[in-house]
Amino acid sequence: MPASDVLKRKTGVIVGDDVRNLFRYAQEHKFAIPAINVTSSSTVNAALEAARDANSPIILQTSQGGAAYFAGKGVANGNQEASIAGAIAAAHFIRSIAPAYGIPVILHTDHCAKKLLPWLDGLLDADEAYFKEHGEPLFSSHMIDLSEEPHDANIATTKKYFERAAKMNQWLEMEIGITGGEEDGVDNSHVHVSRLYTQPEDVFAVYEALAPVSPNFSIAAAFGNVHGVYKPGNVKLQPELLGDHQKYAKEKLNSKLDTPLFLVFHGGSGSSKEEFETGISHGVVKVNIDTDTQYAYLIGIRDYVLNKKDYLMSQVGNPEGDDKPNKKYFDPRVWVREGEKTMKARVTEALEFFNTAGQL
Ligand SMILES: [Zn+2]
């Protein structure tokens, strides 16, 4: 039975029960869906093209900074207005173009720390307006990340937001424990190592608080994750800890499922296949990828510019003659496309790596 069999909506942006059914299917079939950070229509298309050609579902997400970039760097963002408008613009673009690729897409927003909550407030306003008109939220899911706050405050505030999302049958991802490193201006590189590993009791406390509201949530539990690529250091990734969380929850819930929790893998750049496989075997359904696809997008453009340099220095005139036009070399559809090709290749690699390829 392919994954599309568990979906009511088989192509385009999926919401509600479809999201949960797809994640449960992923657990049963031991794969995780890559969540690709997108910042433009070009990066959206590169990711969609990879997923279509691999016959895979995909998750597209905007970070707070990525959403502002989507709006345009010229738009002021003092009150998150660019991040709100940009994420909404990305959502409408993805909603309209995804069916053309013929695959299901989960539309998500990435980390929202406490200081960025006005961003999430604006997105939920947009979800509710969309829900009024269409009976579903604009976004499939959001992430709230209050992991830097005290444990109880994290759970209480997350629950408040989840109650609002649950009215629209929307998915929520939350973080507990801290992902180290630095992303989008949030610098956790100073955090004590012990906070980079979450305990089973703490993870289960999240489950107990959120499960009565709705089953549609996932937990990014820290197991030594770090954003960005780092040289091997004193923080060791321990994805086997996720198995302890599942075991603890299974016992407490007396669940038939070996992986009652939906888990998310952050900060996986540079992780080994074995580490991902361990995570997936313990119920990881989503793996975030940003650093690697950012670099992949550059490769095609960088190599193009370096190789075609003599065709790019003026509109007319190149090694083939002083009167030869260079328009077909400097057209953005040519050189931006080269970045899309190399980014697509990196997304394809991820889809194969996480066993997502061919699941539809
Ligand atoms: Zn993250």
Q: pLDDT-derived band of residue 267, with 50, 70 and 90 as boundaries?
A: confident
Cα(180) to centroid of ligand 1, in Å? Answer: 9
- Summarised one tens digit per residue, pLDDT across range 202-238 is 999 999 999 999 999 999 998 888 776 655 555 678 8
Cα(11) to centroid of ligand 1, in Å? Answer: 26
**CATH code linked to domain 3-293:** 3.20.20.70
**Eight-class DSSP state of 197:** B
pLDDT for 271? 82
Q: What contacts 289, CB < 8 A, 6 or more positions away?
A: 34, 35, 36, 37, 268, 269, 346, 347, 350
- What's at 327, amino acid-wise? K
- Summarised one tens digit per residue, pLDDT across range 272-283 is 889 999 999 999
In sequence order, the β-bridge partners of residue 219 are: 174, 263
CA distance 334 to 347: 20
In sequence order, the β-bridge partners of residue 103 are: none
216 marked as binding residue: no
CA dihedral 17, 21, 22, 27 (to 10 degrees): 150
CA dihedral 151, 152, 156, 161 (to 10 degrees): -10
* 142 vs 198: which has the higher pLDDT: 142
- Residue whose structure tokens are 């976004």: 139
Cα(179) to centroid of ligand 1, in Å? Answer: 7
The residues that are catalytic are 110
Does residue 351 contact residue 357 with C-beta atoms inside 8 Å?
Answer: yes
**DSSP readout, 2-37?**
-GGGG-SS-SEE--THHHHHHHHHHHHTT--EEEEE
148 marked as binding residue: no
Q: What is the pTM of this model?
A: 0.94
In sequence order, the β-bridge partners of residue 264 are: 286
* 89 vs 196: which has the higher pLDDT: 89
CA distance 311 to 330: 8
- Summarised one tens digit per residue, pLDDT across range 21-43 is 999 999 999 999 999 999 999 99
User: Is the pLDDT reported for residue 192 higher than 70?
Assistant: no
175 marked as binding residue: yes
Cα(319) to centroid of ligand 1, in Å? Answer: 46
How would you class 72 by CB atoms within 10 Å of its CB: exposed for 0-12, middle for 13-18, buried for 19 or more?
exposed
Residue 185: which region, alpha, beta or left (left: phi > 0; alpha: psi -120 to 50)? left
Alpha carbon distances (Å) from 155 to 158, 220, 324: 5, 13, 64
97 marked as binding residue: no
Cα(194) to centroid of ligand 1, in Å? Answer: 18
- What percentage of the chain's residues is helix, strand, coil (to nearest 5)? 50, 15, 35
244 marked as binding residue: no
Return phi, psi of residue 37, to 5°. -75, 130
CA distance 187 to 181: 6
